Amino acid sequence: MLDERLIADIRESGIAQGAAGVDQRAKLLKDLGFWTGDKAEYALIASCFMPSLVSESLKAFRLLLEHYKVDYTLLRKEHCCGNILLRQAAKDKTGDELKRAEALAREFLENNLIQARQVGAKKILAFCVGCDVVYSRFRDSVPEEMVWYPTLLARLFKGGRLEMEADYYAGCHYFYQRLNDTLPDLDSAIEVLNRIEGLRLNHLDSRLCCTRPQQLESLLGNIKSKIVITPCGGCAMGLEQALRTRGDCRVVMLPEVVWAAISNQPL
């Protein structure tokens, strides 16, 4: 069953946390340096939870947007993509709940598109792969281009240098595949990393899921370095939590690596 309270919260406040979380999220995004303008080429969807869960990665992404002079804006009232509802609906074997969840996701997307069009944005840029799961279902039915952030980085980043050995985990993206019969744009993510001179990668098995205990154990057992790179915020959170007992192992996302490679700052 779909969470009716969640639906009401999103309709009222825009985000899954409800009205109680709006001010905290807005302050965090402001503190991270993001801004909201009246005119932009890109409407950036920061997501409900990524600002608080992977704030350093989002900050690095903001630095990259500024470095490449990307004309972007946050939306004044960003609406949740509805990914949580699609996940809930996936448990219903009749298909009725999925139809309703998809209709709700389309409703929330339209609220974002209205705001994007008001500022002249022709492109929707999603930081969270969970948002991309949903938006990919509507890509062919809207005039705006909707992309996940590694796609944009692959267009902008021509190369850099970072002397480092790291493990790379693309993520299994099980739910993405289950819903859409495809994967997010992981090709762009690895294309970006391959342009960094001096970066040596140990590729972890992306068929292993970081949310399933036995598979996670196998995944952790194959880590060979002190840095794990992933393009996915959900995977970053899961791996970071699992690796807390290893004090010398860190998880970073793609923007942090790219920023280090072009800024000559340590990761």
Give tens-digit pLDDT for 129-188.
Answer: 999 999 999 999 999 999 999 999 999 999 999 999 999 999 999 999 999 999 999 999
What residue spans in the chain does CATH classification 3.40.50 cover?
A: 157-263
User: Interior CA angle at 59 toward 236 and 146, to 5°?
Assistant: 75
Residue 246 has pLDDT above 80, yes or no: no
**What is the share, in percent, of the chain residues with pLDDT greater than 90?**
94
Band (216; pLDDT cuts 50, 70, 90) = very high
The pLDDT of residue 77: 98
Q: Is 200 in a helix, a strand, or coil?
A: strand
Q: What is this structure's pTM? A: 0.95
Contacts of 117 by beta carbon, 8 Å cutoff, 6+ apart: none
Q: Which has more confidence, 49 or 92?
A: 49
Give the CATH fold of the 157-263 domain.
Rossmann fold (3.40.50)
* pLDDT number for residue 22: 97
Please report the pLDDT score of residue 65 as a whole number.
Answer: 98
Is a pLDDT exceeding 90 seen at residue 247?
no
Task: Calculate the average pLDDT of the chain.
Answer: 96
d(CA 125, CA 64): 14
* β-strand partners of 74: 44
pLDDT, tens digit (0-9, with 9 covering 90-100), for 92-115: 878 899 999 999 999 999 999 999
Give the pLDDT confidence score for residue 25 in this predicted structure.
97
Residue 58 has pLDDT above 90, yes or no: yes
Structure tokens at 97: 């709940």
